[in-house]
């Protein structure tokens, strides 16, 4: 199993550009999510999904879109990049048993800089 | 709603010192509790977990006991090493209120000096 994979590892964008951060998992997990991590802020949830075709907003969804067309993939789209979106982005997945997460598996992260 | 509070860092220790990182929680149901570790430049990975009251999770010399009466899940290690330097996150998963969203603490940075 590759676990959770993310691409790219690093990205530099100019203000106003758009891009898609890719996330894939091969563990057949129902739940997938995107977090951003900023110094002193811990992890903040952007969007999450409990299955193919189902997505919902987290704590900081503005400026980001997601879709979940398959169980494996959960891409995050930045619509018009802003310097405030400079951050490290983590994708995570987990199995749900009666609504309880057993363990979250995290990808290695994408380090994004917006100039 | 659910919440996790952990002690602020950084925690700075000498090698072989005893480590405690405090974590307390509030939850509407009966949560599962987790400690995750994040090494520099990497994603989070599960360190240990406990799924019911009085359970003790353990891994790599780290331990934490699920204390329902004090709503706590403190992380301990008897003798830390330089390689333990990382950020540690306490987290819970609880279906209370119908939420699927796990709750994370803000993380505690541990720095171990030789």
Task: Note the pLDDT tens digit of each residue in A15-61.
Answer: 999 999 999 999 999 999 999 999 888 899 999 999 999 999 999 99
What is the structure's pLDDT at A82? 97
Q: Which residues of A touch B32 (CB under 8 A)?
A: 100-102
pLDDT value for A88 = 97
At residue B97, the pLDDT reads: 56
Give me the residue from B36, B45, B93 closest to A100, CB to CB.
B93
Distance separating alpha carbons of residues B53 and B58, to the nearest angstrom: 15
A32 versus A99: which is more confidently predicted?
A32
User: Chain B contacts of A47, Cβ < 8 Å?
Assistant: none
- Cα A58 to its chain centre, rounded Å, is 11
pLDDT at B63: 98
- Running along chain B, 114 residues long, what does each successive block of 10 average in pLDDT? 90 97 91 95 95 95 96 97 97 74 93 97
The number of beta carbons lying within 10 Å of the beta carbon of residue B46 is 17
Closest Cα partner for A34 from A92, A111, A78, A96?
A92
CA torsion sign for A87, B26, A47, A26 is positive
> A84: pLDDT confidence band, cut at 50, 70 and 90?
very high
CB contact under 8 A, B102 and A108: no
**Tally of residues, chain A:** 115
- Give the strand pairing for A87-94 and A19-25: unpaired
Judge: B106–A42 Cβ closer than 8 Å, yes or no: yes
**For chain A, percent of residues with pLDDT exceeding 90:** 87
Q: Token pair for residue B9?
A: 């860092």
B93 → closest Cβ in A40, A92, A101: A101
- Of the candidates B98, B101, B105, the beta carbon closest to that of A42 is on B105
CA–CA distance from A14 to each of A6, A10, A19, A23 (Å)? 21, 14, 11, 22
């Amino acid at each position: 199993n590759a676990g959770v994979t993310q691409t790219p590892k690093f990205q530099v964008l100019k203000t106003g550009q758009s891009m898609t951060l890719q996330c894939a998992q091969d563990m057949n997990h129902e739940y997938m999510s995107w977090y951003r991590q900023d110094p002193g802020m811990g992890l903040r949830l952007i969007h999450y999904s409990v299955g193919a075709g189902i997505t919902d907003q987290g704590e900081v969804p503005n400026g980001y879109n997601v879709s979940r067309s398959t169980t494996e993939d959960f891409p995050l789209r930045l619509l018009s990049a802003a310097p405030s979106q400079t951050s490290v982005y983590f994708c995570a997945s987990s199995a749900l048993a009666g609504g309880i997460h057993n363990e979250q598996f995290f990808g290695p992260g994408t380090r994004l800089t917006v100039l | 709603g659910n919440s996790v509070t952990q002690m602020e860092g950084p925690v700075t220790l000498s090698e072989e010192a005893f480590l405690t990182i405090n974590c307390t929680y509030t939850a509407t149901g009966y949560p599962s509790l987790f400690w995750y570790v994040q090494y520099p430049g990497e994603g989070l990975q599960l360190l240990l977990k406990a799924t019911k009251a009085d359970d003790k999770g353990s891994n790599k010399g780290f331990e934490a006991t699920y204390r329902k009466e004090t709503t706590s899940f403190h992380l301990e290690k008897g003798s830390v090493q330089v390689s333990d330097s990382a950020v540690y996150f306490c987290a819970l998963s609880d279906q209370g209120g119908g939420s699927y969203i796990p709750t994370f603490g803000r993380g505690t940075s541990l720095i171990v000096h030789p």
